[in-house]
């Protein structure tokens, strides 16, 4: 009997190989390299993006109707810019990624820019600062989906001017994200007639904000603007309230997250926060052009993670993956999939050519001069009321 074992095994294996080859996925492959701050100081703002990308990976891998397949290669930079640089280099040189998504924070995104440009590999950043993509002719391969600090600060200062504020204070992180906010806030404030009477900075990991808060409160500004992310943005607001400041408090687009509300609790009640449409999509008019995309995204996300779990950073990640897929689809349709270097360049060009994409975070129209692609149609102000973000009227 044993003399028949090998032939039968061989036939069985041959049949298995033929069956596997019959179902081989011969669609073009998009190799998508992703770097998020899964751990470390920026993990709170990265959480939504990480969840979105996990969910989209599952959905995309299940969708065999797509004209291409996507291979997700995901890494954690630990909120460390140096680690982000090494990881991006690995993705490009070893993993042969066609397109990179990096990074969660402005410091890490700025750090990887040199590698991105040198390797001529397109990158979609999830960071806020305009300096990540500007000037566009020096950042030819870097794009982003979050609102820039400039766009949001300009919108926020317009509101402050309308409220009649004259003398204001600035409180922000002392890293490149905070510096980007300070540069934009100081320039736009001066141009629009606001006087900054005091400016204070703090580190991302600080827990004591009393000295800075005392100096701000003693200056008696008409309003205080924060350019930071949770938990520090919420903790610093709480400190400012504890030292007796009772005036208006405004925040940049780094704060409209569940973490801001959870950490700040009663101290952030009444705070005005810059954000994108997702935060208040249910409060938008029924015919608003962003509602269909946002509602589709929210339904998908909350079916997986629970009601009320979506946040701005989750939406930014959703748009980022969609932009990557739109660009690769264009490259495949145009027959421009070639060697790795040529395909990367074609994807870069395709991203730059995307027009009027209605995403979950805004309406995108990229160009050679604009690697953000958003305008004022994508900016909103909300106010914290009873522990929730509510759309702020005129």
How many Å apart are CA 329 and CA 317, to the nearest integer? 18
- Regarding whether 344 and 258 lie in a shared domain, the answer is no
Is 391 inside any structural domain? Answer: no
E-strand stretches of 253-374: 272-275, 357-358, 363-364
Is 9 inside any structural domain? Answer: no
- Regarding whether 220 and 203 lie in a shared domain, the answer is yes
E-strand stretches of 142-215: 142-144, 167-173, 195-202
- 178 and 232 Cβ atoms separated by less than 8 Å: no
pLDDT of residue 10: 43
- Regarding whether 338 and 264 lie in a shared domain, the answer is no
- Regarding whether 105 and 124 lie in a shared domain, the answer is yes
pLDDT of residue 350: 98
- Regarding whether 162 and 142 lie in a shared domain, the answer is no
Spell out the per-residue pLDDT of the chain, length 394, in tens: 333 333 334 444 444 444 444 457 889 999 999 999 999 989 988 999 999 999 999 999 999 999 999 999 999 999 999 999 999 999 999 999 999 999 999 999 999 999 999 999 999 999 988 889 999 999 999 999 998 888 999 999 999 999 999 999 999 999 888 998 999 999 999 999 999 999 999 998 899 999 999 999 999 999 999 999 999 999 999 999 999 999 999 999 889 888 899 999 999 999 999 998 888 899 988 899 999 999 999 999 999 999 988 888 899 999 999 999 999 999 999 999 999 999 999 999 999 999 999 999 999 999 999 999 998 888 999 999 999 999 997 5
* CATH number of domain containing 370: 3.40.50.2300
> Which residue, among 221, 287, 276, 219, has the nearest Cα to 253 in the 3D structure?
276
How many Å apart are CA 223 and CA 276, to the nearest integer? 22
Q: Residue 136 CB: number of other CB atoms within 10 A? A: 17
How many Å apart are CA 140 and CA 128, to the nearest integer? 17
Is 261 inside any structural domain? Answer: yes
How many Å apart are CA 313 and CA 329, to the nearest integer? 24
As beta bridge partners, residue 275 has 380
- Regarding whether 314 and 256 lie in a shared domain, the answer is no
Is 221 inside any structural domain? Answer: yes
The pTM assigned to this predicted structure is: 0.79
How many Å apart are CA 389 and CA 382, to the nearest integer? 6
- 389 and 273 Cβ atoms separated by less than 8 Å: yes
pLDDT of residue 147: 86
Is 386 inside any structural domain? Answer: no
> Within the chain, what is the greatest distance between any pair of CA atoms?
96
Structural domain ending residue among the three candidates 240, 275, 310: 275
> Which residue, among 393, 121, 166, has the nearest Cα to 112 in the 3D structure?
121
The strand order across the sheet containing 380-385 reads: 195-202, 167-173, 223-227, 249-251, 272-275, 380-385, 388-391
- Regarding whether 133 and 156 lie in a shared domain, the answer is no
Residues near 134 by Cβ (< 8 Å), separated by ≥ 6? 371
- Regarding whether 247 and 166 lie in a shared domain, the answer is yes
Q: Provide φ and ψ at 165, rounded to 5°.
A: -70, 140
3-state percent breakdown (helix, strand, coil) of the chain, nearest 5:
50, 15, 35
Is 394 inside any structural domain? Answer: no
- Regarding whether 320 and 238 lie in a shared domain, the answer is no
pLDDT of residue 382: 96
Q: Residue 227 CB: number of other CB atoms within 10 A? A: 31
Is 11 inside any structural domain? Answer: no
pLDDT of residue 23: 58
As beta bridge partners, residue 382 has 273, 391
Strands 223-227 and 249-251: parallel
The range of the structural domain enclosing residue 249 comes to 150-275
- 40 and 80 Cβ atoms separated by less than 8 Å: yes
- Regarding whether 354 and 268 lie in a shared domain, the answer is no
**N- to C-terminal Cα separation, the chain:** 88
DSSP 206: -
How many Å apart are CA 271 and CA 307, to the nearest integer? 24
pLDDT of residue 375: 86
Unique residue bearing structure tokens 């660009």:
327
How many Å apart are CA 206 and CA 178, to the nearest integer? 14
Q: Residue 191 CB: number of other CB atoms within 10 A? A: 10
Give how far Cα 155 sits from Cα of 158, 226, 304, 365, Å: 5, 14, 34, 19
How many Å apart are CA 13 and CA 249, to the nearest integer? 69
- Regarding whether 204 and 217 lie in a shared domain, the answer is yes
pLDDT of residue 394: 59
Is 384 inside any structural domain? Answer: no
Question: What SS3 state is found at 31?
Answer: strand
- Regarding whether 184 and 206 lie in a shared domain, the answer is yes
Domain count, the chain: 2
């Amino acid at each position: 009997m044993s003399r028949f074992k090998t032939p039968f095994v061989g036939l069985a294996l041959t049949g298995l190989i033929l069956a596997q080859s019959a179902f081989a996925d011969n669609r073009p492959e998009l190799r998508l390299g992703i770097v998020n701050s899964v751990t470390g100081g920026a993990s709170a703002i990265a959480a939504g993006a990480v969840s979105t990308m996990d969910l989209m990976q599952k959905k995309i891998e299940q969708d065999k109707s797509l004209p291409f397949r996507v291979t997700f290669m995901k890494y954690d930079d630990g909120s460390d810019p140096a680690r982000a640089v090494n990881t991006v280099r690995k993705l490009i040189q070893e993993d042969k990624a066609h397109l990179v998504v990096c990074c969660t924070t402005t410091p890490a995104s700025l750090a990887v820019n040199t590698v991105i440009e040198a390797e001529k590999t397109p990158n979609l950043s999830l960071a806020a600062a305009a300096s990540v993509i500007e000037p566009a002719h020096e950042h030819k391969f870097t794009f982003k989906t979050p609102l820039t600090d400039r766009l949001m600060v300009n919108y926020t200062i317009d509101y402050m001017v309308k409220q009649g504020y004259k003398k204001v204070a600035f409180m922000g992180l002392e890293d490149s994200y905070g510096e980007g906010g300070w540069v934009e806030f100081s320039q736009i404030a001066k141009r629009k007639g606001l006087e900054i009477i005091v400016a204070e900075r703090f580190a991302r990991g600080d827990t004591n904000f009393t000295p800075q808060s005392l100096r701000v409160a003693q200056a008696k500004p008409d309003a205080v603007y924060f350019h930071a992310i949770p938990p520090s943005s919420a903790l610093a607001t709480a400190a400012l309230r504890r030292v007796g400041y009772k005036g208006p408090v405004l925040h940049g687009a780094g704060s409209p997250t569940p973490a801001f509300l959870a950490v700040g609790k009663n101290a952030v009640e009444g705070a005005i926060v810059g954000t994108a449409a997702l935060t208040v999509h249910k409060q938008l008019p029924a015919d608003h052009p962003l509602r269909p995309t946002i509602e589709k995204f929210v339904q998908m996300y909350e079916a997986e993670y629970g009601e009320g779990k979506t946040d701005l950073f989750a939406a930014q990640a959703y748009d980022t993956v969609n932009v990557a897929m739109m660009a690769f689809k264009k490259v495949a349709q145009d027959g421009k999939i070639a060697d790795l270097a040529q395909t990367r360049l074609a994807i870069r060009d395709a991203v730059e050519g995307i027009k009027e994409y209605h995403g979950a975070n805004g309406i995108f129209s990229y160009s050679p001069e604009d690697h953000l692609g958003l305008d004022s149609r994508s900016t909103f102000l909300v106010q914290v009321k009873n522990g929730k973000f509510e759309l702020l009227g005129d």
